[in-house]
Amino acid sequence: MKPFESAVEMMAALRRGVTLARELLEFHLERVERYNKALNAIVIHDFEHAREAADEADRARKSGSDGPLLGLPITVKDCIDVRWMRGPAGEPEHAQRRPRHDSPVAARLREAGAVFLGKTNVPPLASDWECENPLFGRTENPWDPSRTPGGSTGGGAAAVAAGLSPLELGSDISGSIRVPAAFCGVYGHKPSETAVPRSGHFPGSHLQNPAAVFLSIGPLARSAEDLELAFDIIAGPEPVEDTGWRLDIPPPRHNRLSDYRVGVMPSVDWLPVDDEITSALDRLAGGLALAGAAVELVQPHALNDLRERHQTFCSLLGAMTAVSRSESERREQAEKKCEGEFEQAYCSGFTASAVDYLGWIDERERVRASFRDFFEEWDILLTPANIVNAFPYTNSDSPDRTIKVNGREVGYYLQLVYAGVASLGGQPVTVFPAGLTRAGLPIGLQAIGPYLEDRMPIRFAGLLSREFGGFRPPPNFV
């Protein structure tokens, strides 16, 4: 058995009888025993129940049963409710939080036959790109232990990249699937905003909140095919809504790279991006053109230079963040000296009126309409996944902290911009590996697709892997 096989390959081996679910689980538990102490990616587990579930999967298969994930060990982000498994979201005050019920997505994975190996580390309340909290400590990036694996699904991306788990379920508001996937060199998919149930997520609610925006729950894996496997299982309406609603995601528009019409987002002068990321994007655009695809520097017209759109995103993000805060915490945030247009927009969300909120939603709908117009002519919009590759831990939670881009200190929260473009529109996005830096760190790019055409960016990423290469194992975990 090989540690970096895809989930699709592992499922094929289970169906052929080449391996048993219990053997596959023990194989991964051995890797967890060997590597996780230093990596600290999987922080909550119940291996005995996992063994019982694997044995049950073997009995079911022996009796002739099957399922899309029958016998496959998986991990789940700490924030996603799995019944009776702790879910504190990295917060000591919630250390003993144990949901009584599966979230809808966990229930669908369980019904598909998945074996829950454990839950993965996050920053406190899933609110950072550094994966460290006072309850479980710090997760290392498997490519460089001094660097963050990204956040907030940092533990999950590290576990998949290191071969501790073949499949992870994460969540994303402002890059929490996409940035860890890019930093750890794996694939990640942020679904269309309404394609997957969002209830049963903490912070959040066990109930559906139709007024909430941005949150998406989706998979991380070592291949695009694995993303599609997981997406097909978890996609669908919220419970109760499924009484009458059905979700029918169309197939991808094309199955050959030469048929794709690819827009590449132009750079903007106010937003610095690491030179090695822009070079990777340029190389890919050139390679796609040579492969016969239509490639052009172009973007939805409403995005303009991204500045006003990012202000709207920050205002809505502030309002969403304020929901989980007490009144005193909201007041304290609002009274802070918020410097800079984006910080001011974020702070405004903490004291926003219903009228303010509906106004921002109206602006958001104009952006969504612009994306619809764009995707009538184009199939994919390519952008950086972030302005920087995996960076050293800053050991700070200061609002004034910085990161280095091309040797220059820039504002830490500028990392929100490229993630926010797709989140504001509710678009599906697939992040994929696009090579390594000179220092040997992964570079990730994101392919934004048309709303509710999630198979489009996933298939595009899969075709890229065949033509230009995909996942590479971190050297110290082979």
Contact 395, 278 (CB under 8 A): no
How are beta strands 429-436 and 408-411 bridged, if at all? unpaired
Q: What are the helix (H) ranges across 63-187?
A: 104-111, 154-161, 178-184
Contact 143, 440 (CB under 8 A): yes
H helix or E strand, kind and range, residue 435: strand 429-436
Whole-number Å distance between alpha carbons of 135 and 119: 14
Query: Does residue 348 carry a catalytic annotation?
Result: no
- The 3-class SS string of 364-414 reads HHHHHHHHHHHHHHCCEEEEECCCCCCCECCCCCCCCCEEEECCEEEEHHH
Identified catalytic residue from 6, 103, 176, 192: 176
Structure tokens at 181: 């996937």
Contact 456, 252 (CB under 8 A): yes
The pair phi, psi for residue 134, each rounded to 5°, is: -70, -10
Structure tokens at 404: 């280095």
Identified catalytic residue from 6, 103, 127, 152: 152
Query: Does residue 146 carry a catalytic annotation?
Result: no
Contact 121, 165 (CB under 8 A): no
Identified catalytic residue from 6, 77, 165, 216: 77
Is the preceding omega at residue 142 within 30 degrees of 0, hence cis? no
Query: Does residue 176 carry a catalytic annotation?
Result: yes
Q: Which residues are catalytic?
A: 77, 152, 176
